[in-house]
Chains A and B, each alone.
Chain A
């Protein structure tokens, strides 16, 4: 499944190049010509959510662990960045990796006990933990300032250089996002990624083949948390304001919808999903159909699940997956793993 095995290797190189040119030259040029900082804002938001969607793709799409609390790690990253910037005056290049590490640490601690759970029970556990983290952000007023949120003055500072002008901020976000997505791409298209895919297809079988399933799951969850944290830092520094409402359950669902819309297991799909689900509402706003935005998101999600089970560019169709699972599906989980029965 890795990129180098595909016949269209040259084509995919070309495509990567085209995307890079589009992100670093064409899009900024178009934005510059349009001269509207609003469009920069939309572009930044799309890139931040593309990164979130890509990071969730690693866990949900590649490793097949349904996640319902991703926004919480995004929030941990955003709060870490905001607190470091306001309390200790750290600049963006320092807060960003630290935000990623903090989110990764939380993800790791969450993963340790929950990784034994399978399927829907893992999903529900992440929902519960996501809500708990959200409630902590909301109610631990002494640290997070609770519902007041944290305001960052001259937010995007790279050492002594003020990068908060829309055009420069765009490049900062673009560089961080593209580099992160490249890393995720390398991870998911390597032997490591294939091992994760093996988990998704049949983790008992993978374990029998000598794949250390629990360790792999924990690792992928932690890495995913890291990139969600980086996305959080990007949001904190470009928006200049973080508050708990931006990291609620609905945001987790939004990110999940992006991954599903694009197609489980497909990185380009995850990115396309982010572009559509952030871009479409803004487009609807232009056409004064703003009231129907969420309704339309629901309808899009529903139709995709029903009519395009592979998503737009997916590699793992829900239906294919269950056919392949024929053998594994009705064997009881061995008790020593503490798994929860059928999978």
Chain B
């Protein structure tokens, strides 16, 4: 019994890691409805920036997170300027929403992610970066029959804070209202006086800052910082977002937890090499059978 409990706890902590990445991702991709394939690289940049700050002067964790937050925000601005704004040359409804536009931004963000990853690799090499051991968030905490680490707690608190803050902003403030307005109907939003460019830029800033913080936290959690570290969490975050019904951040978080638990439990029954298949299988099953996410909300748009 303890064994299953421990696997469940590990699954939950895996899921929390995915959820942390999925929050920023869902804000840009799902809520703002902009196809962004470079989120994984923002995550990687956050981890490397954090490492850089640590090497320069070893600040306490909170200061480190603030610095990474700033780097992430800047990355978000740059990303939006380079890969997304150029495609908003036309402001009619069709241009803002059309398939071709979405595919163009998919390709441009993909190209930028290749550039970012290769640049990091050229500068730092492809090996794991050595993280100062005392900074690692892997101090074990024993809770009866199961074991977690202090990183689990920190990630849980961070993810919860992000989730609550975003939910509050999106549903209770004018900024959130304009984000939802832009995603719902960009032209309409413009007509009623919302600054569409600004709103999109701000969403990128917030989403990318969260992505960067996720990067450094997970980097310190596992002690594994390397150029292609963003790919897997990016995929998992994507799957969680699709499963959760795209525009729902709580939905994405819950589905991230489901994925984590399913992955950990899968090792009980099958060889662990098949663990990676779990998320993809969820993705396909969701897309085919629950195209509106497993909570089946009455969603009107994609």
Partner of A297, one of B86, B104, B114, B287: B114
> Which residues of A sit under 8 angstroms from B235, Cβ to Cβ?
131
Closest to A294 in B: B118
* A121-B291, A124-B283, A295-B122 known; A322+B111 contact, CB < 8 A: no
A342 and B302 within 8 A (CB): yes
* A319-B100, A341-B301, A342-B302 known; A325+B35 contact, CB < 8 A: no
Q: Flag the segment in B88-96, B200-208, B259-267 that touches A.
A: B88-96
> Which residues of B sit under 8 angstroms from A116, Cβ to Cβ?
288
A132 and B281 within 8 A (CB): yes
CB within 8 Å of B: which A122-161 residues? 123-125, 128-129, 131-132, 135, 138-139
B242 and A124 within 8 A (CB): yes
> Which residues of B sit under 8 angstroms from A66, Cβ to Cβ?
103, 106
Q: Flag the segment in A185-193, A272-280, A301-309 that touches B.
A: A301-309
Closest to B104 in A: A318
CB within 8 Å of A: which B76-119 residues? 83, 86, 89-90, 92-95, 97-104, 106-108, 110-112, 114-115, 118-119
Contact with B along A39-71 (1 / 0, CB 8 A): 000000000000000000000000010100000
Asked if A287 is at the interface of the complex by the 8 Å CB criterion, the answer is no
> Which residues of A sit under 8 angstroms from B1, Cβ to Cβ?
none
> Which residues of A sit under 8 angstroms from B302, Cβ to Cβ?
120-121, 340-342
Contact with B along A288-327 (1 / 0, CB 8 A): 0001101101110110011001000000001101110111
A124 and B287 within 8 A (CB): yes
Asked if A114 is at the interface of the complex by the 8 Å CB criterion, the answer is yes
Partner of B284, one of A129, A298, A323: A129
Interface of A is mostly: helix
A298 and B283 within 8 A (CB): no
CB within 8 Å of A: which B269-293 residues? 271, 273-274, 276-277, 280-281, 283-284, 287-288, 291
Asked if A253 is at the interface of the complex by the 8 Å CB criterion, the answer is yes
Closest to B93 in A: A330
With an 8 Å Cβ cutoff, the count of chain B residues facing the other chain is 48
> Which residues of A sit under 8 angstroms from B83, Cβ to Cβ?
302
Partner of A323, one of B94, B102, B119, B276: B94
A123 and B106 within 8 A (CB): yes
Expressed in whole angstroms, the minimum distance between the Cβ of B140 and any Cβ of chain A is: 31
A329 to B97, CA, bound (A): 7
A321 to B90, CA, bound (A): 13
* A322-B101, A330-B94 known; A135+B107 contact, CB < 8 A: no
A329 to B101, CA, bound (A): 11
> Which residues of A sit under 8 angstroms from B274, Cβ to Cβ?
135, 139
| A interface residues with partner B (beta carbon < 8 Å) | 64, 66, 113-114, 116-121, 123-125, 128-129, 131-132, 135, 138-139, 253, 256, 260, 291-292, 294-295, 297-299, 301-302, 305-306, 309, 318-319, 321-323, 325-327, 329-330, 332, 338, 340-343
Q: Could you list 8 A-B pairs, sorted by A, with CB under 8 Å? A: A66-B106, A128-B284, A139-B271, A294-B118, A298-B114, A299-B115, A301-B107, A301-B110
